[in-house]
Structure 1
Amino acid sequence: MTTVLAPSPTDTRMTGRGKAVLVVLLLAQFMLAVDFSILNVALPVIGDGLGFTLANLQWIATGFALAAAGFTLLAGRVADLFGRRRLFIGGMAALGIASLVGGLATTPEILLTARVVQGLATAVVTPAGLALLTTSFPEGPMRSKALGLNGALMSAGFTTGAILGGLLTDLLSWRWAFFINVPVAAAVLIAAPMLITESRSAVRKLDVPGAITVTGGLLAIVYALTVAGEHGFTDPLALGSFALGAVLLVVFWFAEKRSAAPLVPVGILKRRTVIWGNLAGLIAFATETSLVFLMTLYLQEVLGYSALATGLAFGVLGAGTVVGGVMGARVIARIGTRSALVWGLAVQAVATASLVLLGADRGWLTLLLAATFLGGVGNMVAIVGFMVTATSGLPDGEQGLATGLATMTQQVGITMGIPVMSAIVAARTLGGADVLGGVGTAVLVNAALVLAAAGVVGVMLRTKR
């Protein structure tokens, strides 16, 4: 097995080549994060320009989410087996081509196809890039620093995408939300072969039954969450998709127990760090991305701000996540990974709970900005703690699998948070009459989930004597 850049675990200095590798990998991950949200504010304009029906418009986002979340675990394992650099470069090439096709699209079918390919490329590049990141730097301060910067840029990218999408759509055209990926992908494709060394696992056999059942199960769950967000959690199609996903994942579990070369060794799923680290990550991503949705409702429906002004307000949240990402490695070095994870979630919970005080006049904007900044710091410290926890103590040969699991957690969390919070708001508003009350109830639930996660993870990750 070949690995990249393996300095001593006690060496906290990063070489010039290590910094260049880090820049290439972070640039790719930032672009992927931007793609999650850059088209959200442009959807109505795209619909008018290409003739989407209102019912089909949501598939621009859904098609991407289904592919990105459904195939990420499989892609992470394929990268382990056939080469992480190879998959990383191939995925970036596919992303660049799909972005060019999407920007030039003249029909809904072409654009949706491009969007699905973008999602598939994201499913390939994200775990492969994270595995290259974790195998490029030894477990310890250097890896924590790299993962902290990665987490900060990914979270900032999600916020940047919302702002950038509005700016590009208003000033140029929605097509530039696709075109902007092309030069970035080209730069990564030029630099990556020169800087990154190939890395793979010694195991060379793919578990086909496991791949089919886990991919089908994840696709069914993500689709169910999407349908639930549109029609409620009692919708028959949503319930049926949830049931199908659950059955396929149970079949996957038993298939892995009997497989000679499992896609996900059952042993790794029994590790406390993997189980509880990923649970913390799921809650962290689900609650913070859905909080952006709740505050968007508040800013636009209650305070009357424009979409662009709303996006700019979230720049403060983005700044908080950058600060948290930079602080994450230092916090872990000072108090330990478990404590950083728990305290990060606790700070996020307190900051989120304070938003219950928001009122119906614009004077409350100061509280919103301060709370989202502080919550962003706490959320990103927790996410860095989650990434370190979920990928630590594993050999390099399983890093693609571990980062694939972590990436799946991230993408499912992003997908599930908004439908859940949207359902709470809809149930509380009674036909839309009390948006502020609905947002307040959802904020309380959001904060309670984070606080509960902090308590459970804190107990379950205690070091056994």
Structure 2
Amino acid sequence: MTSTIAAGGPAGTVRRSGNSRGRAGSIGLWLVMLAQLMLVLDATVVNVALPHIATDLDFTRAQLSWVLNGYAVSFGGLLLLGGRIGDVFGRRRTFLLGVAVFTVFSLLGGLATSPLLLVIARALQGLGAAFAAPSVLALITTSARDDGARNRALALFSAVASMGGALGLILGGLLTDMANWRWTLFINVPIGVAVLIAVPRLVAETPRRPGRFDILGAVSATGGAVAIVWALIQAGDDGWSSPRTIGGFVVGAALITVLAFTERRVAHPLLHPQLLRSPSRVAALAAMAATYGGMLAMFFLMVQYLENDLHLTPLLTGLAFLPMPLSIFAMSRIVPRLVERFGAVRLVMLGAALRVVAFLPLTQLSANTPFAIVMVALLLTGISAGMTFMPLTTLALRNVEPGHAGSASGLFQTMQQLGGAVGLAIVASTYAAFATPGDFLTGGRAGFWSATILSALALAAVVGLVIRPRKVG
């Protein structure tokens, strides 16, 4: 880092040069990215600790699912609201508020002494994540110096988003085995405190966007998303035809209809209709939903296979996923150059096709399946994710006005979270329909077929864009 001595100032006084400010900004964005990793991995970090949580806090089987679902419902349901608040009140300010809420309730969740307190803490963690996450992507896209820097930052963001789930499983297994399940939540506290101290000094605030706040849009978007996510989660317990599941979908659909009606008529909408007028953006949103749904479904099934069928410890179960984050990180280093050479659409297609190939062997799992096949499938899944997430992010945020970056980011991540909820609900229902007591493989194979179909839908979402490569990259 270069610096110059301030003329006429006391000895040791240093004035930062432009290069110093640039490096400080880079460090700030790295810290923002670290916070994003913390938010993403928290969706899975408690997975392998669930049996220990159930024993320690006397959870019933039905209650235990809400340790995961409480976070998913509030995170997925409030992302659009978080993105809009960032646009109106400043993204750095909204990001820091979200990180503060997330950090406080991570600590309280780790200290929880009853199922209710832990579930409430997890839901409020999701609230903080929903406020912080859209501002992360918006800060990245609006702070980049040029297209090259933007692509590199998006590649890193995409690597974090796509490998966070696998890292959560590894970290959760390590902490559960080496300490106890409470450290899967305590680990967020020092990270959150460091981000809250350093980011205000290193990352500039974005301009506020003047205008009135769309209260009706916020209520209908948030309520509709929460209702749909809740219904999808309940379907795994109550069934798709239960009155509660159907009622949740009806309420969600009604609120989304209100949102669509409202956003066309208000001066400052929460969700700008023009964001959905781009075919490449709509295709990217659909592909992201199907991609993330398939990956989270695979995590759900693979953890059960490794722990129940192969009888691995939580630590070894987590470490079995190591090929995924390693391959995703490796791909993140070269994907920006691949996008420049081949275009985002072609790379997404190749990654989606590779993911289908990776999942197919898992549909044929048996007691005699070599473990090497499972590891190769995880490796190929990581490569395909690293090849897919950054181009999808590029397509989803291309040509978005800076003033709408937070809303577009919130929409993109909402589709990611809702896709994960849909994937888990479909796979859990399929698994339950075909499962037999004491035998994972029968239901597991059916579940992996569902995950494979979800990956094929991601491929189908972008196939039509190939005929227009000049318009979408």
- If the length of structure 1 is used for normalisation, what is the TM-score? 0.91
Does structure 1 retain, via aligned residues, the 8 Å contact 2:54–2:64?
yes
Which of 126, 138, 141 is equivalent to 1:131? 138
Name the counterpart of 1:291: 298
CA shift, 1:45, in A, is 2.2
- Aligned pair in 2 of structure 1 residues 105, 323: CA closer, same or farther (>3 Å)? same
Whether 1:441 and 2:446 are equivalent positions in the alignment is yes
CA shift, 1:433, in A, is 6.7
2:145, 2:301 → 1: CA distance?
Answer: 39
Pairing 1:199-238 to 2, within 5 Å after superposition: 199-238=206-245
Whether 1:400 and 2:413 are equivalent positions in the alignment is no
CA shift, 1:321, in A, is 2.2
Give the SS at the match of 1:252.
Answer: helix
2:334, 2:449 → 1: CA distance?
Answer: 27
Does structure 2 retain, via aligned residues, the 8 Å contact 1:358–1:367?
no
Any stretches of 5+ residues in structure 2 without a counterpart? 1-20
Whether 1:193 and 2:204 are equivalent positions in the alignment is no
Name the counterpart of 1:458: 463
One-letter identity of the residue aligned with 1:350: V
Which of 185, 188, 203 is equivalent to 1:181? 188
Whether 1:415 and 2:421 are equivalent positions in the alignment is yes
Pairing 1:115-126 to 2, within 5 Å after superposition: 115-126=122-133
CA shift, 1:320, in A, is 2.3
Does structure 1 retain, via aligned residues, the 8 Å contact 2:288–2:458?
no
Does structure 2 retain, via aligned residues, the 8 Å contact 1:224–1:242?
yes
Give the SS at the match of 2:42.
Answer: helix
Does structure 1 retain, via aligned residues, the 8 Å contact 2:49–2:314?
no
CA shift, 1:67, in A, is 0.8
Name the counterpart of 1:333: 340
Pairing 1:3-402 to 2, within 5 Å after superposition: 15-138=22-145, 140-361=147-368, 364-402=370-408
One-letter identity of the residue aligned with 1:281: M
CA shift, 1:459, in A, is 0.8
2:151, 2:82 → 1: CA distance?
Answer: 24
CA shift, 1:464, in A, is 6.8
2:374, 2:47 → 1: CA distance?
Answer: 22
CA shift, 1:374, in A, is 1.2
1:109, 1:25 → 2: CA distance?
Answer: 31
- Aligned pair in 2 of structure 1 residues 324, 64: CA closer, same or farther (>3 Å)? same
2:236, 2:331 → 1: CA distance?
Answer: 30
- Aligned pair in 2 of structure 1 residues 305, 179: CA closer, same or farther (>3 Å)? closer
Give the SS at the match of 2:269.
Answer: coil
Which segments of structure 1 move beyond 6 Å, counting only runs of 4 or more? none
Name the counterpart of 1:7: none
Does structure 2 retain, via aligned residues, the 8 Å contact 1:320–1:372?
no
2:357, 2:447 → 1: CA distance?
Answer: 15
One-letter identity of the residue aligned with 1:219: V
2:300, 2:174 → 1: CA distance?
Answer: 19
One-letter identity of the residue aligned with 1:45: H
CA shift, 1:41, in A, is 2.1
Whether 1:424 and 2:430 are equivalent positions in the alignment is yes
One-letter identity of the residue aligned with 1:452: L
Does structure 2 retain, via aligned residues, the 8 Å contact 1:152–1:326?
no
CA shift, 1:432, in A, is 3.7
- Aligned pair in 2 of structure 1 residues 95, 422: CA closer, same or farther (>3 Å)? same
Does structure 1 retain, via aligned residues, the 8 Å contact 2:98–2:129?
yes
- Aligned pair in 2 of structure 1 residues 238, 381: CA closer, same or farther (>3 Å)? same
CA shift, 1:444, in A, is 2.9
Does structure 2 retain, via aligned residues, the 8 Å contact 1:347–1:374?
yes
Which stretch of structure 1 is more off in the superposition, 393-402 or 17-26?
Answer: 17-26
Which stretch of structure 1 is more off in the superposition, 20-29 or 303-312?
Answer: 303-312
CA shift, 1:446, in A, is 2.4
Question: After superposition, what is the alpha-carbon deviation per residue over 1:245-270, rounded to whole angstroms, capped at 9, x for unaligned?
Answer: 11111111011112122111212122
- If the length of structure 2 is used for normalisation, what is the TM-score? 0.90
Which stretch of structure 1 is more off in the superposition, 223-232 or 42-51?
Answer: 42-51
Which stretch of structure 1 is more off in the superposition, 176-185 or 147-156?
Answer: 147-156
Name the counterpart of 1:10: none
Give the SS at the match of 1:258.
Answer: coil
2:409, 2:220 → 1: CA distance?
Answer: 19
- Aligned pair in 2 of structure 1 residues 140, 346: CA closer, same or farther (>3 Å)? farther
Give the SS at the match of 2:407.
Answer: helix
One-letter identity of the residue aligned with 1:437: T
CA RMSD across the alignment = 2.0
Which stretch of structure 1 is more off in the superposition, 226-235 or 401-410?
Answer: 226-235
Does structure 2 retain, via aligned residues, the 8 Å contact 1:79–1:200?
no
Give the SS at the match of 1:205.
Answer: coil
One-letter identity of the residue aligned with 1:399: A
1:242, 1:375 → 2: CA distance?
Answer: 32
Q: Which has the larger radius of gyration?
A: 2
1:73, 1:203 → 2: CA distance?
Answer: 18
Question: After superposition, what is the alpha-carbon deviation per residue over 1:347-383, rounded to whole angstroms, capped at 9, x for unaligned?
Answer: 111121233343312x521011112111211123211
- Aligned pair in 2 of structure 1 residues 30, 334: CA closer, same or farther (>3 Å)? same
